[in-house]
């Protein structure tokens, strides 16, 4: 098992061979990946990874407290041009002063990145918060995409179903060392390999000048509201919007994840009888991390 460790010079493009080796993918040469950026209406930076040399065919939106590198193995397996976006407040995208990282606000920012770097993309993919953001983005651009893929999320998500995610995000914001932050990440991700999680921490955290480590992502809780509005506000509206969309829809569900319930699937089918539902064995909430090859196969089929 590989043991990625922090170095003096973090190179975000130097770890792809580890992804390939862990999942048995060919790796004759490093993939063509570039970090690109755009600006939202307020001038805030929206960063993304552009894979491949042709026009991106897919747009990938990660979940809360993640970043665009969560899709690395999926992108390697697909071997198609695509754009993986860092949501606002995540990865290398700018933080918001109001800490409002909800689907509607995210969609406005992501729209600028898609317009500039992936205007011809056919498939829009979103996991967790990225999936809810993808719904809002598809509503704003109903004719842009040929397929919408939601990865282990519906507007039926709540604090109880996502309790382990909420507990992880509500944990410490700084850590004494890289190993301490890795240990906490391993404890909350029993379906993932240690090597995969160590890579994830390298992409998702950074050392501070005092030697401690902190997450790259910002948190809605830093708005210091008196009452928490639930895991995501406006979910009822997202249900209505999802039901009104006509773009073909796929839900990919992690078999080990509690985030999407059978009742959620029934509600989704009642609003979108045409939805295709795929359950991925052995996957928890982060299907792209647990079973990336299976997810890549689903996405590839939506491109054919």
Hey, which residues are catalytic here? 128, 152, 285
In this structure, the strands spanning 174-175 and 82-85 are unpaired
CB-based contact 23:33 (threshold 8 Å): no
Q: What is the 3-state secondary structure (H, E, C) of 194-256?
A: HHHHHHHHHHHEEECCCCCEEECCCCHHHHCCCCCCCCCCCHHHHHHHHHHCCCCEEEEEECC
What is the rounded distance in angstroms from the CA atom of residue 217 to the CA atom of residue 86?
10
**Residue 303 CA: distances (Å) to CA of 86, 149, 226:** 22, 11, 45
Closest by CA position to 34, among listed 66, 68, 63: 68
Which residues have C-beta within 8 Å of that of residue 162, sequence separation ≥ 6? 231, 258, 259, 285
Closest by CA position to 196, among listed 281, 74, 48: 74
Which residues have C-beta within 8 Å of that of residue 124, sequence separation ≥ 6? 58, 59, 61, 134, 137, 138, 144, 145, 147, 148, 149
The alpha carbon of residue 144 and the mean position of all alpha carbons in its chain are separated, in whole angstroms, by 20
Q: What 3-state DSSP class applies to 68?
A: helix
Angle ∠(187,189,191) on CA atoms, nearest 5: 125
Which residues have C-beta within 8 Å of that of residue 37, sequence separation ≥ 6? 45, 46, 47, 48, 92
């Amino acid at each position: 098992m590989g043991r990625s460790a922090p170095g003096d010079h973090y190179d975000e493009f130097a770890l792809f061979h580890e992804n390939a080796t862990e999942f048995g993918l060919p790796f004759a040469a490093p993939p063509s990946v570039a970090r690109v950026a755009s600006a939202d209406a307020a001038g805030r930076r929206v960063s993304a990874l552009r894979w491949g040399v042709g026009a991106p065919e897919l747009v990938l939106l990660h979940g809360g407290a993640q970043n665009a590198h969560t899709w690395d193995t999926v992108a390697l397996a697909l071997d198609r041009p695509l754009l993986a976006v860092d949501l606002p407040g995540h990865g290398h995208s700018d933080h918001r002063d109001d800490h409002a990282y909800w689907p509607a606000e995210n969609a406005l920012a992501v729209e600028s990145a898609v317009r500039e770097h992936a205007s011809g993309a056919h498939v829009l993919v979103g996991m967790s918060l990225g999936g809810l953001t993808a719904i809002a983005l598809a509503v704003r651009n109903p004719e842009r995409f040929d397929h919408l893929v939601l990865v282990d999320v519906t507007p039926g998500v709540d604090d109880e179903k996502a309790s382990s995610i909420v507990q992880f995000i509500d944990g410490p914001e700084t850590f004494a060392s890289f190993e301490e932050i890795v240990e906490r990440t391993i404890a909350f991700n029993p379906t993932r390999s240690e090597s995969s999680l160590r890579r994830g921490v390298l992409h998702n955290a950074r050392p501070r000048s005092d030697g401690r480590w902190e997450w790259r992502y910002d948190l809605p809780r830093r708005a210091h509201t008196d009452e928490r509005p639930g895991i995501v506000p406006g979910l009822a509206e997202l249900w209505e919007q999802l039901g009104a969309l006509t773009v073909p829809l796929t839900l990919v569900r992690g078999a080990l994840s509690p985030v999407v319930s059978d009742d959620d699937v029934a509600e989704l089918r009642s609003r979108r009888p045409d939805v295709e539902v795929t359950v991925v064995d052995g996957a928890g909430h982060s299907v792209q991390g647990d079973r990336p090859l299976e997810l890549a196969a689903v996405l590839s089929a939506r491109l054919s």
